[in-house]
Homo-oligomer: A and B are copies of this chain.
Amino acid sequence: MPAPEKFTSFIDENADSFIQRLKEAVAIPSVSGDPKHRPDVFKMGSWLQSQLESLGVHTKSVDLGKHIMDGQELQLPQAIFGRIGDDPKKKTILIYGHYDVQPANKSDGWDTEPFTLIVDNDTGRLIGRGSTDDKGPILGWLNVLQAHKDLGLELPVNLRFCFEGMEESGSEGLDELISSEAAKGKAGWFGGVDAVCISDNYWLNTRTPCLTYGLRGLAYFKVTVSGPARDLHSGAFGRAVHEPMTDLVILMSKLVAPDGKILVPGVDEMVSAASEEERKIYDKLDYSIKDIEESVGAPIALSSDKAAVLMGRMRYPSLSLHGIEGAFYGAGAKTVIPASVAGKFSIRLVPPQTPEAVEPLVETYLLSEFKKLNSKNKLKVENLHGGKPWVADYKHWNYQAGIKATEAVYKRTPDLTREGGSIPVTLTFAESLGVNVLLLPMGRGDDGAHSTNEKLDRSNFIEGSKLLGTYLYEVGAITA
């Protein structure tokens, strides 16, 4: 059951006013990671809450308490719960989004003022911080509500909303809130939720809509080698003492091969190889080596086989070396033997891997490799943080609704993708509510969510609003 014709027409006819509303939202610099913008985050939360109320949504602002940032105690931005519709015959869909944004300054290299939404008619782009991450998608839902209110149309599903203002800064307090609210069962704001829909990621490319059913997890490590009590001069002590950097660099060189293979025994082995059939899924995705080369700006893909590159990103674990704390990092030439150096690396996890399963493998391996060095320095291995991977059943009606809606709006079948990064709230919803979660992106792969000149294509905003509404109709048509 596609959405009624008058719904999609309404979206087209009101495109300019929807863009005007996005402009209002972008103009509030709700940067959660900068204490001086904290009042703007609150302002953005209030703005969003009053928009929802004016569209007939019953809302509640939830106090998440205080936290410390840059040494200051600050009030956490409110979470905003919303509910509209209570028809027991309808399905209930929970929508998540975040109203905070990444930092942005013109001096970072923006071509325009980041908090002034620019409508570039030549390229069809809406340029501004938050346009695609995640104000555009949130406003997509408002557009759907607006259409139904103004047209006097009944919503095809019951809706619940959960919006937060700290996503870009670790979603502090949200996990606990979701768990405790879920624990209330029917009496809670998430009572009766049948499935979740999140629009906070991107198409794999710039051409083909997608649905995302998997995210990698993470295990982040810090491996510290310490020797002398203080930094030494390499003239006075080079070749006289065990140097921590020598040991650390050898250890780090034994973690991952240049071709991406993880050298920690047992880590790659936890993941079964893709069958020929599964491989075909990746072969069919609208993606090319050229796409990845364009997005990283250099011809450095690990393989010329597109499926291999996509599987490396989506369905295999990866290990990246991020850097070294405590060593010389400046420009120029300093002849120091650093006293204590800490290598930072992380492993992206895929099912059935978990941080708990991977950590002991890493620790055991590093200890045994360090022993081989016969060094008198000291080794310490720490796990800084971690998160489980997530994969959803894409044969679930929630995904089928997303697929049908995409076909109706974009006249093509969406790609089914997994992402290499993590969106931790996805797993929180899946686990605490025990329901299917669909990631239904609005923007394109080149939107530059955390970069300068972040944009959302006008067509993605408008067709994306239709997509979100149509998805609700497809959910409403499910008979199962």
What are the residues of chain B within 8 A of A329 when measuring CB–CB? 323-325, 327, 329
Q: Are B296 and A228 in contact (CB under 8 A)?
A: yes
> How many Å from the CB of A321 to the closest CB on chain B?
4
For the complex, count residues of A whose C-beta is within 8 A of B. 83
Interface residues of A in 48-92 (CB under 8 A from B): none
Q: Is A458 an interface position by the 8 A CB rule?
A: no
What are the residues of chain B within 8 A of A367 when measuring CB–CB? none
> How many Å from the CB of A355 to the closest CB on chain B?
13
Q: Is A346 an interface position by the 8 A CB rule?
A: yes
Q: How far is the CA of A309 from the CA of B238 in the complex (A)?
A: 10
What are the residues of chain B within 8 A of A253 when measuring CB–CB? 249-250, 252-254
Q: Is A344 an interface position by the 8 A CB rule?
A: yes
What are the residues of chain B within 8 A of A228 when measuring CB–CB? 296-298, 300
Q: How far is the CA of A346 from the CA of B153 in the complex (A)?
A: 73
A236-B320 in contact given A228-B297, A329-B329, A335-B346 (Cβ < 8 Å)? no
Query: Which residue in B245, B312, B313, B316 is a CB contact (below 8 Å) of A322?
Result: B245
Copies of this protein, total: 2
Chain A 98-130 per-residue mask, 1 if CB under 8 angstroms from chain B, else 0: 000000000000000000000000000000000
Identify the closest chain B residue to A445 (Cβ). B236
What are the residues of chain B within 8 A of A313 when measuring CB–CB? 236-240
> How many Å from the CB of A226 to the closest CB on chain B?
8
Residues of A that sit less than 8 Å from B by CB: 216, 218, 220, 222, 227-230, 232-243, 245-247, 249-250, 252-254, 256-260, 292, 296-302, 309-310, 312-313, 316-325, 327-338, 344, 346, 348, 373-377, 384-385, 419-422, 450-451
10 sample A-B contacts, Cβ–Cβ < 8 Å, listed by A number: A220-B333, A234-B346, A235-B348, A238-B312, A240-B318, A241-B292, A241-B300, A241-B301, A242-B300, A245-B320
